[in-house]
A and B are shown apart, each in its own frame.
Chain A
C-alpha cells in the first residue's frame, strides 16, 4: 500500500481491547452484547449520537429496550423491505451498532409486498392510529405514576391484615420493579410504532428537494416540514409565560442572575400574594411541561426540569429583562405559519413542470401528516416516561442504600437490571427471614470498581466504526436515524488518516457563521459559566436548553441531526448551530476560539 492510499476499513472488533483493570466492569454487560469473533465479519459503528458517554451498567437498558423495539417494528411489524433490525454491542462502556440489511432481491420483493399491506395501512389511517397512540402513551404514563414507592415496613400494616390482603410488602417490591422494567420496554415499542414510517415519509420529501434543488440546505427542508405548535416548544413557551407573569405580578425583582433556584423559591414564599400567585403558576407549568430532561433520555443523570429547577430558572432573568423592555415573548404562530406556507410556495414555483409540482404536493402533504408524531413522541417517551422510569429506580436505590447495599442511592445505576432484581430479591428474602441482607458485603466493592471503570473508559479513544466498510449503505433506518452514508464513512476514514483536528464536521442545523470562545458545558451545573457571546459546546441540546439560547452566539453538539430538537430550537432563535459532530466536546477545549458555519455544518478551531 502506498502512503497516499486511503484506508478501506476500520479496526476489527476483535482488535479492540477492554481497558486493563476494567475487565470485571465490562463483564457487567450480558454475554449477548459482548463482541464475539464472528462480529469481525460485520460492520459496526459507534452510536455517539445517542450514547456519547460510557454507559453505566444500569443505563445499558436504554440501548437494550430501544433496539428490541426498533428491530421488531422494522423486521416483524412493518416488514421494511431492505432492512431488518439493529444489533448492539458494548465495549468499554461504548455502544456499537450494526444493521442487518436485506440484499436478496426475491426476499426484498416478498417483504415489499408485506410492507405495503402494513405500512400503507398506517399512512392511510395515520390520524386515527396516532390519536390512539397518544391514549396508549398517556395510559402508560398514568400507570407508571401509580406505582407505589418501594418501602419495607417493620410490621405489615394492620389494615392489610384486616383486609385479608394475603400479600406481604416484600412482594410489592418485586411487582413494582418488574412492572417498572416492563413499562419501560413497552414504552420503546410505542416509540417505534410510527417512527421509521414518519421519518421515511419526511425523507421522501427531503430527497426530492435535494434532487430538485441540489444546493438547498437541510434546515430549509426541515423548516418546510416542521410544525409550529409542536410539543417541543412548550417547555420554553411555559418559561416565557412565567417570565411575563412574574412582571405582571410584580415579583420580577426576585429573579436575579446567578441566584439559585432554591433561593428564588424561598424568597417568593415570603413575597406576599404576588409570590404565592407566581408559585401557583409555576405548578401549572410543571405538570406536564417540566417533565423534560436535559439530555436525550439515555442517561440516568440527565435530570428533568422538575427534579432540578436550575436549568429553567437560569433562563428566567433573561426573559424577564426582555418583558420589561417591552418585548413580546409570544411566538407569533400566524406569522410563522405564513412564512412556512410562503417557503413551500416559493420552492414549488421554481420546479420545472406541473407534474413535478404535483409530486411535490403529494410528498409534502404526507410529510405534514406524519410529522406531528416525529416531533411529538420524544416529549412523551424519552422525556416524560423516561424520567418516571429513572426516578422509580432511584427510589429502589434509596431503599437499598438505606439497607447498606451501597453508600449512595445513585450507586444503584452501577447494577445492571438483572443484578438489580437480584439485589431486590436479596433484600426481600432478608426482610422476610428477619436476617441481614448479603448485599452490603457484596455490592460496595463492585460499585466502586465500576465507577472507576467509567472514568477510565471516558478517557479512552473510541474508533467511530469497526470492520470493513460495506459497498453501499442502503439501510433506510441507519441513513434516517444516524445520517450515515458511504460518503460520511469515507470522511471519517480520511479524517482519521490525516489526523486533522482543526475542522469538525456535523449536521448543518441552523445557518449563519459566527466566531467566539467555546464554552464546554457537560452538565447543567455548568450552565452558569455561559457568558454573552459564548458558543455553547455540549453533548446534546434539546428544548430544555432553550433558556440559555438567548445568551449565546451559537451552539455545537455531539448528538443530533438536522431535525433534532437542538436544530429546531436554534432555528427558532436564529442561532447558528452545528449538531451531531460526534466529538466536539472532546476535541474542542474550553475557551478556545472557534468558528461555526451553520449552513455547511462545519466547526473550525481557530487557535
Chain B
C-alpha cells in the first residue's frame, strides 16, 4: 500500500493535504493519525480528477465551454451541464488511473470480491456553500464490486457539474482552472446503530455537553432525516446523562440484495428500545473528547457501531459552524479586585 499523486491512503494523509484529498478525506486521515478508529480506505486524489479532465479536454473542450456560459441563461446552462456530466460519468478512464484505483481497491478489499465499500465525494473548496452544491450529499453506500466503484468515482466527479454548482461559480466569475474533487473509497461499516454527535449543545451552544443522536442500522437514515433518532445529552466532563429521549424508530437503512441500501421497517419489539447502551454512550463521549481535543474546537461527528465487533468507528468529523460563528461575549473577565465579582450577585440586576 503506497500513496502516490493519484492515491492517498488514510494513514498517509492529514488535514494539511486538503487541497489534494478534500475535506472529508483529510479529516478521515487526520482522525486515524490521532489514533481514532475509522473504517480503512483511501482517497482518489484531485490529481486523478485533473488527469481525467485533461483527457476529456483533449477529446473536446470542456472548461472553456463552462466559462463561456451566461449565468442568467438557465436553459443553455442546464443543457451544457447535462452534456458535460454525461461525458464525465461515461467517458473511459485513462488506463493508468483505472489501474491505480483498481490496485488500491484490491489492496483494501483483499480477496473478498463482495467486500462492500462506500464511495464519497470529498470537496477541496473552503467555501461551505459551494461545497454543499458540489456533491456534499454524494455518498454511495454498499458498492459491491470494482466496476461499480470506478463508476461511482466518476459520479462524484460529475457532481461538480451540477447546474447549481456551475451557476454558483459563474455568478462569482470563478475560474474553472483549479476546480477539483477528491473521492473517498472506504470499507463499508455494517452498522448495528449509527448516528451523529455534536460536541456542544445545538440548543444552547454549551460546550460542556455532547448531544448524541442515533438509530438502528446505517447512519444514512439519521443524516437524511428519514427516522426520528434517539437523543441523549451527556456531560462532556462527568458523563452524566441529563436527557434521554427514546423515539419510535420506524425504519432503518440496511444493505440491499444487489448492492446499495434500502429502507426497511424496524421490528416492532426494537422500535422503542434505546439503540445505545450507557456504556456505549460513555465510549462515544470519550471518542468525542479526543477528537475535539485533537482539533481544538467543537466538532460535528458521524459515527457507527459495527454489528459484528460492536466497535465504535467514526465516519466523519468536521468543525461545528453554527455556534462557533457567533461566539458570544465573554461571560466575565478577570477583575482587578476579585471581590468585585460578588457584586454580580449582591449589586442587583446588571
Contact = CB atoms under 8 A, between A and B. Distances in A.
Interface stretch (A60-68, A167-175, A348-356): A348-356
A511 B341 contact: no
Interface string B306-336: 0000000000000000000001001111110
- How large, as a class, is the contact surface on chain B? 20 to 34
A277 B35 CA distance: 59
Interface in B191-208: 201, 204-208
A347 B334 contact: no
B331 A347 contact: no
B349 interface: yes
Contacts of A123: 339, 342
Most buried by A among B241, B332, B338: B332
B240 A350 contact: no
Interface string B30-42: 0000000000000
A215 B233 contact: yes
B344 interface: yes
Nearest to B207: A350
Contacts of B201: 214-215
A215 B339 contact: no
Contact of B333 (A82, A359, A599): A359
A220 B330 contact: no
B116 to A, nearest CB: 39
Contacts of B343: 112
B8 to A, nearest CB: 33
A204 interface: yes
Interface in B211-241: 233, 235-238, 240-241
Interface residues of A, number: 48
Given A119-B342, A208-B332, A350-B236, A215 B204 contact: yes
Interface string A329-351: 00000000000000100110010
B334 A213 contact: no
Interface stretch (A36-44, A251-259, A298-306, A360-368): A360-368
A472 interface: yes
A212 interface: yes
The majority secondary structure among interface residues of chain A is helix
User: Which of B236, B237, B330 has the largest count of A CB atoms less than 10 A from its CB?
Assistant: B237
B345 interface: yes
A82 B208 contact: no
A359 to B, nearest CB: 4
B209 interface: yes
A455 interface: no
B347 interface: yes
Contact of A208 (B236, B240, B327, B331): B331
A203 interface: yes
Contacts of B79: none
A576 to B, nearest CB: 11
Contacts of B238: 220, 343
Contact of A220 (B207, B235, B331, B342): B235
Given A220-B237, A474-B349, A366 B332 contact: no
A214 B332 CA distance: 14
B346 A355 contact: no
Interface string A100-116: 00000000100010010
Contacts of A201: 342
A351 to B, nearest CB: 8
A358 B346 CA distance: 21
A82 B347 CA distance: 7
A120 B331 contact: no
Contacts of B207: 213, 350, 352
B347 A81 contact: yes
Contacts of B258: none
B204 A355 contact: no
A600 B242 contact: yes
A362 B343 CA distance: 14
Contact of A82 (B237, B338, B348): B348
A362 B334 contact: yes
A366 B340 CA distance: 11
Given A213-B208, A216-B206, A347-B208, A200 B342 contact: yes
A355 B338 contact: no
B345 A204 contact: yes
Nearest to A223: B238
A80 interface: yes
Contacts of A80: 346
Given A124-B339, A200-B345, A216-B208, A211 B331 contact: yes
A332 B322 CA distance: 43
A485 interface: no
Q: Which of A81, A213, A365 has the most CB of B within 10 A?
A: A213
Contacts of B208: 213, 215-216, 347, 350
Contacts of B205: 214
Contacts of B344: 204, 207
B287 to A, nearest CB: 16
Contacts of A211: 331
Contacts of A215: 201, 204, 206, 208-209, 233, 235, 242
A74 to B, nearest CB: 10
B308 to A, nearest CB: 31
Interface string A185-211: 000000000000000110110011001
Contacts of A355: 330, 333-334
A358 B242 contact: no
A353 B333 CA distance: 9
Given A215-B204, A215-B206, A350-B207, A363 B237 contact: no
A74 B346 CA distance: 11
B286 to A, nearest CB: 12
A324 to B, nearest CB: 31
A345 to B, nearest CB: 9
A217 B235 CA distance: 9
B347 A213 contact: no
Contacts of A200: 342, 345-346
Given A82-B348, A124-B339, A359 B204 contact: no
B242 A213 contact: no
Nearest to B292: A350
Contacts of A203: 345
Contacts of B334: 355, 358-359, 361-362
A600 B243 CA distance: 9
A199 B69 CA distance: 70
A476 interface: yes
A358 B338 CA distance: 10
Contact of B240 (A204, A356, A511): A511
B337 to A, nearest CB: 8
A474 B348 contact: yes
A81 B346 contact: yes
Given A215-B204, A599-B242, A363 B341 contact: yes
B330 A356 contact: yes
B348 A214 contact: no
B232 to A, nearest CB: 12
B276 to A, nearest CB: 16
A214 B342 contact: no
B236 to A, nearest CB: 7
A352 B327 contact: yes
A82 B339 contact: no
B204 A214 contact: yes
Contacts of A472: 349
10 contacts: A119-B342, A120-B339, A200-B346, A204-B344, A208-B331, A214-B201, A358-B334, A359-B333, A362-B341, A480-B345
Interface of B: 201, 204-209, 233, 235-238, 240-242, 244, 327, 330-335, 338-339, 341-349
Given A204-B341, A476-B345, 15 more contacts: A82-B346, A119-B346, A120-B339, A207-B344, A208-B332, A214-B201, A216-B208, A217-B240, A346-B237, A352-B330, A359-B334, A361-B334, A363-B341, A474-B348, A599-B241
Minimum-distance CB pairs A-B, first 10: A358-B334, A362-B338, A214-B204, A359-B332, A213-B208, A82-B348, A346-B237, A215-B206, A212-B331, A211-B331
